[in-house]
Chain A
Amino acid sequence: MAERSFAREVEDLKLGAGQEFRGEGILAITKALLECGVSYVAGYQGAPISHLMDVLSDAQDILSDLGVHFESSASEATAAATLAASVMYPVRGAVTFKAPVGINVASDALANLTSGGVTGGALIIIGEDYGEGSSIMQERSHAFAMKSQLWLVDPRPNVASIVKAVHDSFELSEASNTPVMLEVRIRACHVHGRFATRDNVRPAFPLSRALDQPSRDTNRIVLPPASFLHEKEKIEQRWPAAVEFIHARGMNETFDGDIDDIGIIMQGGMYNGVITALREAGLADIWGETRVPLYVMNVTYPIVDREVIDFCRDKKAVLMVEEGQPEFIEQALHKILRNADIPAKLHGKDLFPMAGEYTAQVMGEAIGAFIRRWRPDALSDAARAPNLDRTEVDEKIRALATVVPPRPPGFCTGCPERPIFSAMKLVEKELGPHHVAADIGCHLFSILPPFNIGATTMGYGLGPASASAFNVPAGKRPISMMGDGGFWHNGLTSGVGNAVFNQHDGVIVVVDNYYSAATGGQDIPSSRADNRSRSTKHPIVEAVKGVGAKWVRQIDRTYDVSRMRDTLREALTTEEKGPKIIVASSECMLNKQRRVKPLVAAAAKRGERIVRERFGVDEDVCSGDHACIRLSGCPSLSVKPTSDPLKDNPVAVVDNSCVGCGHCGEVADAAVLCPSFYRADVVSNPTAFEARLDRLWQRMIGALQRWRAGRRIMFEQEAA
């Protein structure tokens, strides 16, 4: 079950011709796929297109009504390989994953796909995760398009343009027998907007026909000598066909303006930022009217040379707005303009920063500099000499930098991964620090405070693989981490299989939280949920043993910090050779709460006995040392000031968001911290016997308490 349900929104996918869709970018893309008569859709979740997978998953009924096959792929490579269906048959297919990491994984399949070329339209929707909020290394997907010769579509970031790009891309793919990548940046994925819908189209060529009447063409298979021909065909036929189609269809857009001796060229995704910057300079308006001519590359690869030449011909200067590095497009423009003897001065990375996101501020400054340089007369006085932003220099505001704390992402309240790292911290205290190879997934948050664990992260599922070199005799063993998501993505082979084969002596911890949790709680093979369209409940332990691991431990309740610590210690110290594999399993709390809450509410409504657990701290016992927090970091475990004049430090407190996972109590026990923690079990609708017994006991306890209170001096404070 995914983190967010789109059950209500997917109803919008049924909208027909002449109606209006309103919603998020990813939902609009799904609608567009259906309008294009797509036969199959596959993908691998990951921000920013996780929700696209969730939408498709929630829309399965609608998809199957239309005869569209959908699957969540094991990895991006699987997803990309799925497009092979469009090589021999005239079927349209789409796959999706995040970029550029997804393309890295998929690139083998993509290169083969592109070499042979496609018959039916093949679309790869990539969520470009670059800039603020990104959780991955900062790279451009553009290079992949260039090296494999597949086309890169980068539409203007509004819902209508993105939808149009989907339609155009399928046709472009078919016209040039080449797969097309449609790039949607992180903000555009989540952009809310509207567009006029068309009817959904059933695929004309059902996949079953391909199976019943298979066909093959050896010229499309990547094998010599065909592969040598592919390389020529790409340049001699497919490229020109693509350029011709892009031009004829008008996929790139030109907006005229009266200041026509200068112009701005941009990636489609940059358009809104450019217009906003021009508007602030008084050179454009909110409705898209512009005084400076614009050439918007909704297709950033291949470049249509003649359109560039036409746009630049009579201009004295042109600005290229291209986010990220290297400046592939700017370099290409220099060549195009030089070959065509166009004298226009080309600006780009001389005014823009070479690296990093083009934020509103960056955009405003660079475009402002460009206009000031070439047409200062077009600017208002205010735009020409803007007043300094005085708040920046105010000392009260500068002082804030030392006050506002950083707030990196962390484990949720009750997260079952937290105790794993608490245990690791405890083992660290006994055996000293170890080399920990981290991996992608929620468990990566262990790198940040309060745990500060983990040395490297080499890519999804590659935690154990990234400890490969550390298979040498030493005083300590390396520890490597991997989530269940990464495990099924590739870690089983790249990590565990590799370690078994190479007789690796390290410790591998597989964090199994029943979902691909970091990407939003999608099911994976080891999920323990019943999923009507997928086969789940395949234990990781069996898979690990299946590839030959011998020392395997399953921990079925990660909150048992002592057991977790003891198992880790054993793994690090045992005489046994070969990889030591610990599968630490407990359900992702975010998903568990979503699953359990409605059940509990329903049971309460029926008047059934319900136990609510939560933790608390005895304020007068707490010494304010905060050791519990240093081993936990749970959002619900916080500190509060105390009015006790004898206490200097704020005391620990558990707030009402506590889900009663028990971690703080277990840590206090395992680490021998302090006896301040208590667990409260609150029983609603207790049985009659239970209630009567409780009354009896509380009367007894009350009598004892009164007796002792009578023999002690009662001060006012305590009575309050």
Chain B
Amino acid sequence: MTQDLLYSVVGVALFGIGVFGVVVAAHVIRKLIAVNIMGIGVFMVLLASAHHGAITDPVPHAMVLTGIVVAVAGTAQCLWLALRIQLLDENEAGESTQ
């Protein structure tokens, strides 16, 4: 098994673990971590496809960089939403105990 094939297979496996996590996990943070694991899996597949013997193809690298930016933005957005929901719930709980 060549190195880039190994990377691709591991990448797809990580992607699968991530999908499993998103579907099964109950907590939002767990789901979010699972999504990020999926992303890392995709990036590994891309990086492996950049490897052609001695020459390295720069296009997948550019794609991975873009993908990382998007993943950060998406993760930040989800975290912000989760935080807002938690704050609303805490306020509600605080009001009801008073």
Mutual binders A and B: no
Where the two chains meet, the residues of A that have a C-beta atom closer than 8 Å to any C-beta of B are none
Where the two chains meet, the residues of B that have a C-beta atom closer than 8 Å to any C-beta of A are none
